[in-house]
Amino acid sequence: TQLLEQSPQFLSIQEGENLTVYCNSSSVFSSLQWYRQEPGEGPVLLVTVVTGGEVKKLKRLTFQFGDARKDSSLHITAAQPGDTGLYLCAGARVSQGNLIFGKGTKLSVKP
Amino acid sequence: SQTIHQWPATLVQPVGSPLSLECTVEGTSNPNLYWYRQAAGRGLQLLFYSVGIGQISSEVPQNLSASRPQDRQFILSSKKLLLSDSGFYLCAWSVRRGRTGELFFGEGSRLTVL
């Protein structure tokens, strides 16, 4: 059973387009994190959201945590080729010490 | 600032040979340490985690083992590699008792078993 479902799995867009990727679960998380991973490298933490309904912005990236703390979204405005990579969401639960990772969304932004 | 380094970056090994991947963390004390495996550039599978020296928890029964001989050193080993052990191995650390469990990853080690 995949506790964190990410969609879409793959996304190929042109430079300048906007996009949204989703991370959904039936479980409640105490916090949720987004990572970006480039080929051949380790994932890099982008943001952590903690409060239900929280919105965080990182330049052209906007992250939102659902009110019920079961889901999250990542919106990228005016995507650039440098945004290309695998976007992973990971949830933390109080009852479980380790993070639960989604399978990721592989984003390709073409110039 | 904290840094994490793992090596080797790339490894090609024959079936049945031993394995040792090393990971060290600098700039922090008493971290939680983790080994993950990532197949085909996708989801992360937690293999081992450690909350202290000599304390190892295994998440998935398999051909691998882990050891933590020092506070900031984590080693992934195998006595005899299988073809199915091929993959991208990632070491990570987090703050012990951190509320959000944020992970900081190493650069990864690509293992190919032939």
Contact B103 A99 (CB under 8 A): yes
Indicate the length of chain A as a whole number: 111
Name the residue facing B100 among A42, A50, A103 (closest C-beta): A50
Q: Shortest Cα distance from A82 to chain B (angstroms)?
A: 18
pLDDT(A2) > 80: no
At B43 the pLDDT is 82
**How are the residues of chain A apportioned to helix, strand and coil, as percentages rounded to the nearest 5?**
5, 55, 40
Locate B74 and state its tokens: 């984590």
Query: Residue A98: pLDDT band by 50, 70, 90 thresholds?
Result: confident
| Contact criterion met (CB < 8 Å) for B90 and A42 | yes
pLDDT in tens, A40-92: 999 999 999 999 999 999 999 999 999 999 999 999 999 999 999 999 999 98
Residue A94 has pLDDT above 80, yes or no: no
Q: Rounded to an integer, what distance in angstroms lies between the CA atom of residue A72 and that of residue A58?
A: 15
Nearest Cβ partner for A43 among B49, B101, B105: B105
Least Cα separation, residue A46 to chain B (angstroms): 10
The residue of chain B with its CA nearest to that of A34 is: B102
Are residues A104 and B43, on separate chains, in Cβ contact within 8 Å? yes
Residue of B nearest to A40 (CA): B108
* pLDDT cut 70: percent of chain A above it: 95
Residue A96 pLDDT grade (very low, low, confident, very high; cuts 50, 70, 90): low
What confidence tens digit (pLDDT) does each residue in A64-76 have?
999 999 999 999 9
pLDDT at position B51 is 92
Q: Which residues of chain B have pLDDT under 70?
A: 41-42, 61, 98-99
Q: How far apart are CA B32 and CA B101, in angstroms?
A: 9
Q: Which residue of B has its CA nearest to A33?
A: B102
